[in-house]
Structure 1
Amino acid sequence: MTPAIAAFLFIFVIGLVLFAWERVPADVTALGLMLSLILTGLLSPADAFAGFGSETVLMILGLLILTETLVYTGLVDMTGRWILGTVGEDVSRLRWIMLIVPGIVSAVISNTAAAAFFLPIVLGLAHRLRISASQLLMPMAFAAILAGSVTLIGTSTNLVVSGLMQQQGLAPLSMFELTPVGLPILIAGILYMAFIGRKLIPDRTARTIDGPVLPDDLYFTEITLTPESPAAGKSIEESLIMRDLNLGVLALQRGDEVLRPLADTILTEGDTLLVEGKREDILRIPQTNGIEISGRIEELESYAQDGTTQVAEVVILPGSPLLGRTIRGLGLRERYKLQILAVNQAGDIRYSKIGRLTLSLGDVLLVQLPATNLRLLESEKMFRVLDIIETPPNDLSKARLASLIFIASLGMAVLGILPIAVAVLLGTLMAFLTRCITPEEAYRRIEWKTLILIGSMLAFGQAMTQTGTADYLAELIVNLPGVGSPFVLLTFFFFISVVLTQPMSNQAAAAVLVPIAIQTALLLGHNPRPVVIMIALAASCSFITPLEPASVIVYSAGRYRFMDFIRVGGLLTIVVYVIAILLVPLIWQA
């Protein structure tokens, strides 16, 4: 072992610990690893920074912008209305549609974008059909992940693997090279989720707030009794709160004291109550004499009078600046005139004050604010709008043009008219010129963390080769018993990829393994391409933990637990492996 290899392995172990620890964001860890390679002299700055200007990163940049253009122009609304019209009241048909449609969409946009795309649609449909969203969200996310293996652009992991192959002297992946194995995996995965996986998903339809059961569609909020309140002097059981508004009282605060809300508790002027109720009942509170939502913003009244205020249901998604923050500490009230009317939150909530409530992934908020600020906050990824209540639909005039640009870009790449990176960047330019999306809007919506992570990890893969670490580790693997068999070699790299994608991102795991796999195959006299294909399939299909971004998006909204993914995703991983180990050696001669 040379000093360079030892230094690289030391940096690698530190990076692996940081990826698993998750206290440091993955993109920051990757950036730190790249800088460590420069500072230790393992890579020159030019070689280290080359990844950010690579065809892979530019291709992903263009695809991210084109995908966001489809969302921005209202294609989500069109798709949601089409699905609702197709499904009607047929829950069985909905289950199939939410497996097949995300599978089709995710073959041409990233699986993460597809999961975010369909999340509000699934939540809305589940609410209207009165079924548990948990029965739909995991299958939808898994279908999106599975479809990522159908085409080159289905997931950024495929693009990273293709870039690494080119970096290591192999021909890059073509647009549909993975399709002969990816499509059977998608079909088998959909059938598994429809007939087996669905039965393994718990049907969680209750949430707990300090003991009482809170059904899926109920919100909780704080109300205050005003001096003229007819409820003052009456017991909770006798008051209009229970009788007329159909609200349940969960807690009562009088001054600095929190009281248990018994049926015969007498209410007094100034009492603050934590109540639960359906959306329509919560929205009746401001029109009810004698009670008001605590901390109501008076300035909203003027907006409401001229029709420029909106009430909306919004959900907190990954990457939101609101995650981990308290409602009171956000400053949204002062900056955006945003009133949080009510909250629908997973998990156990011990009541003190709603203002002190910490927001989590998947929380659904009922908000009121000026209409101009709603889209601004959504574009800044504060939240995703699930439903705008009693307002006209979005203007979808640009959706068809954006779809044509997207299809034309991919068509030029598939037909070989232009390299894929050039085709998607040309599509991006056309989206800007036709005003389907403005550059400012696109740059605000892009997940820059993904580009930083991928650009940095490409440098990591380059350093693994230049320092000789890939050769060194390949020699160790070659000496393992039985690894000379193509079957054992493919199996080894499949499962080591599955394991590494749990603490690391999919792209980072691929960047580590691809150089090692290529050198190992060459030392054994095997074709390295099927081994790399196996890594791409395994790294893209991460089901056994909720750490895959598409799974993270649905994790809290579906109120899943870690073991749910191990139980459902573990069997699905075996299904993917069986199909891959049968087809990969046949299609790419090992």
Structure 2
Amino acid sequence: MTFEIAVVLGIIILAVILFVTERFSIDTVAILTMVLFMLTGILTPAEGFAGFSNAATITVASMFVISSAIFKSGALSSVGAALTRIGRKNYLLCLLSLMLISGGLSAFINDTAVVALLMPVMIQVSQDIKVSPSKLLIPLSFGALMGGVCTLIGTSTNILVSGIAEAQGVAPLEMFDFTPAGIWFLLVGVLYMFFIGRHLLPNRKLATDLTENFDLGEYLTELVLLPESPSVGVPLKDSGLVQHLDIEVMQVTRHKEKIQVFPSLILRANDVLKVRCGVEKLKKLKEEKGIKLKSERRFRDEDLRINDSKLFEAIITPNSYLEGKTLKELNFRAYNYGASVLAIRHRDEIVHEKPTHVKLSSGDVLLIAADPYQAQKLRQNEDILIISQTERSPYNYSKIIPVMAISVGVVAAAALDLVPIVLSALVGVVLLILTRCIRVEEAYKAIDWKVVFMLAGVLSMGAALQKTGAAKLLADFLIEWVGGYGPHALLSVFFFITFMTTNFMSNNATAALLAPIAIVTAEELGVNHRPFLMAVAYAASLSFMTPMGYQTNTMIYGPGNYRFSDYLKVGTPLNLILWLLASLIIPLFFPL
């Protein structure tokens, strides 16, 4: 144990703590780790910043653009329509088809995009067949995760492990190296969900409308502004109702006509206001001068409609700009042309009181009142995803053919070893832009820059572990601990440690930490590197036990009305089954 190794392990332990506690965003922690390695002299600036030019980082960024182009072309719209038809016929057939289709798509398209495409469809199907969304969304996420491990481009983790291998002087992983074992993981996972997992899925109450789903009825009240009210003749945003009582006005009815609410609306005598407030504020309203309570009945969705206004559910997408901010800080209502957030499903609770003060997290579900124009603007906002009403992407035949041809070309060129995957993916992006299948601005928006910065940052961990000998120290410890049982046992331990760690820490950070140790361990044992690298790559993406283990698990948490225990109940047996399966089949496909 040298001083340098101690510094490296200290920085990595700090990073792991920050990753697990989620005190800061994942990309922030990754960049902080990289900076600390450079400040302490462990890495030179050239070594520290090498992650930004690494083939893995560039490939992942390119694949985001290609996935977005496929999505925007409407080429996948028929998939949603097919699942809708199947779902209306038979739940079990729908479950089976859902997992196979999401798995098949995720092998070539970013799994987050696949879940974003299919989640609104499955929520609509659940309403049609009177089945709780909780019976469909975990299978959707799990299918996407298992499909993602079937190819090199199926998940950023596979690309990252390949990049780490190449940086350490080991042959990079090929496009379909993952496929043989990956298909086994997918098929066994589908069979588990079909015969066992579906019985463990929760059966949450299927709400008849969104106000019921968000327990909103008790918090909506109608009141009349009497002529003596201090709020009469005052803009809504400056009225005592908003300034002093902090009440959200959802609707104004004047002379039996519903008026669109906006901050500068001048209130008048005898206006009927539909407001959202809790029990305590309701008591204060009863004591307020110039206010008469007209109704305290439970409201339904139709009571909130203003002209064409409707209620929508929208989810905060992974790595959204909205994460860590409040609606008040974002000035959400003004920015979204008057669309109003009525409630927030935040993890296991529903927030009605002061939802504008809640710090938003990935996976939070917003209940939004919006007219068609506002809803269209919300759909164009890539930081949130409308999930309560499906809107199929229109077919664009002028784009579908070139987009699919270019995408197939990217995969084929890499699979046939004509060019490295980083080059074929980058050429694909250039061709998509030149053929106007995607605009330059859309390409920039399609790239998840948080993931790119996170990858660049975590790659420095592997470099520091390798350079200082920390990877060798940890490998020697594992060999001393388990090596006596043989390389097969050590391979199994690597898979177990990886999938357990990735359930509580970023899958990419887990892979960046363990892949260098796996390489050195294989070298110390005098066996093939490939099975150890594959064990880390597979296990880092097969994360089923927690909602924070993978982005797609987080995305379905709120819409499925899940609890943390649901993931443990359904995901733990699956993780253990796949661990045992991996211990048997990885050495078969990748001999030690």
TM-score (norm 1): 0.82
Letter in 2 for 1:96: L
How many residue pairs end up in the alignment? 540
Instruction: Give structure 1 stretches of 5+ with no counterpart.
Output: 232-246, 260-267, 288-303
**1:458 match:** 459
CA contact (8 A) 2:212 2:300 kept: no
**1:88 match:** 88
Residue 191 of structure 1, CA deviation: 0.6
CA contact (8 A) 1:530 1:588 kept: yes
CA contact (8 A) 2:100 2:143 kept: yes
**2:590 match:** 588
Confirm whether residue 277 of structure 1 aligns to residue 300 of structure 2. yes
Residue 334 of structure 1, CA deviation: 2.4
Tell me, in whole angstroms, the C-alpha distance in 2 between the residues paired with 1:214 and 1:338. 19
Taking only the aligned residue pairs, the percentage that are identical comes to 31
Tell me, in whole angstroms, the C-alpha distance in 2 between the residues paired with 1:570 and 1:45. 42
**1:108 match:** 108
Residue 312 of structure 1, CA deviation: 5.5
C-alpha offsets along residues 44-86 of structure 1, whole Å, 9 cap, x if unaligned? 1111111111111111111011111222233454432232234
Instruction: Give structure 2 stretches of 5+ with no counterpart.
Output: 226-252, 257-273
C-alpha offsets along residues 286-336 of structure 1, whole Å, 9 cap, x if unaligned? 35xxxxxxxxxxxxxxxx7xxxx9986533333344456555554233233
Moved more, 400-409 or 452-461: 400-409
**2:564 match:** 562
**2:418 match:** 417
Cα distance change of structure 1 residues 69 and 276 upon mapping to structure 2, 3 Å threshold:
farther
**1:492 match:** 493
Cα distance change of structure 1 residues 253 and 83 upon mapping to structure 2, 3 Å threshold:
same
Residue 190 of structure 1, CA deviation: 0.5
Moved more, 189-198 or 320-329: 320-329
Cα distance change of structure 1 residues 446 and 334 upon mapping to structure 2, 3 Å threshold:
same
Residue 99 of structure 1, CA deviation: 1.1
**1:478 match:** 479
C-alpha offsets along residues 7-43 of structure 1, whole Å, 9 cap, x if unaligned? 1111111111111111111111110111111111111
C-alpha offsets along residues 534-557 of structure 1, whole Å, 9 cap, x if unaligned? 111111111111111111111121
CA contact (8 A) 1:252 1:271 kept: no
Letter in 1 for 2:576: I
**1:408 match:** 409
C-alpha offsets along residues 270-291 of structure 1, whole Å, 9 cap, x if unaligned? 557584424xx246x435xxxx
Moved more, 222-231 or 494-503: 222-231
**1:202 match:** 202
Letter in 1 for 2:566: D
C-alpha offsets along residues 361-408 of structure 1, whole Å, 9 cap, x if unaligned? 34243432573x65554444231133669x997463434432332222
Cα distance change of structure 1 residues 207 and 345 upon mapping to structure 2, 3 Å threshold:
farther
Residue 156 of structure 1, CA deviation: 0.7
The CA RMSD over aligned residues, in Å, is 3.4
Letter in 2 for 1:503: F
**2:191 match:** 191
**1:257 match:** 284
DSSP-derived class of the 1:578 partner: helix
CA contact (8 A) 2:84 2:122 kept: no
Residue 184 of structure 1, CA deviation: 0.8
Cα distance change of structure 1 residues 258 and 92 upon mapping to structure 2, 3 Å threshold:
farther
Q: How is 1:69-468 mapped onto 2 (pairs within 5 angstroms)?
A: 69-75=69-75, 77-205=77-205, 215-216=212-213, 222=220, 224-226=222-224, 257=284, 269=292, 271=294, 275-278=298-301, 281-282=302-303, 285-286=305-306, 313-323=313-323, 327=327, 330-340=330-340, 343=343, 345=345, 347-349=348-350, 351-352=352-353, 361-369=363-371, 371=373, 374=375, 376-386=377-387, 394=394, 396-397=396-397, 398-468=399-469
Residue 533 of structure 1, CA deviation: 1.3
CA contact (8 A) 1:362 1:554 kept: no
Tell me, in whole angstroms, the C-alpha distance in 1 between the residues paired with 2:45 and 2:107. 36
Tell me, in whole angstroms, the C-alpha distance in 2 between the residues paired with 1:155 and 1:71. 17
Tell me, in whole angstroms, the C-alpha distance in 1 between the residues paired with 2:435 and 2:298. 49
DSSP-derived class of the 2:417 partner: coil
TM-score (norm 2): 0.82
Moved more, 396-405 or 462-471: 396-405
DSSP-derived class of the 2:175 partner: coil
Tell me, in whole angstroms, the C-alpha distance in 2 between the residues paired with 1:148 and 1:90. 26
Cα distance change of structure 1 residues 258 and 197 upon mapping to structure 2, 3 Å threshold:
farther
**1:574 match:** 576
CA contact (8 A) 1:60 1:451 kept: yes
Tell me, in whole angstroms, the C-alpha distance in 1 between the residues paired with 2:328 and 2:443. 30
**1:298 match:** none
CA contact (8 A) 1:250 1:273 kept: no
DSSP-derived class of the 1:88 partner: helix
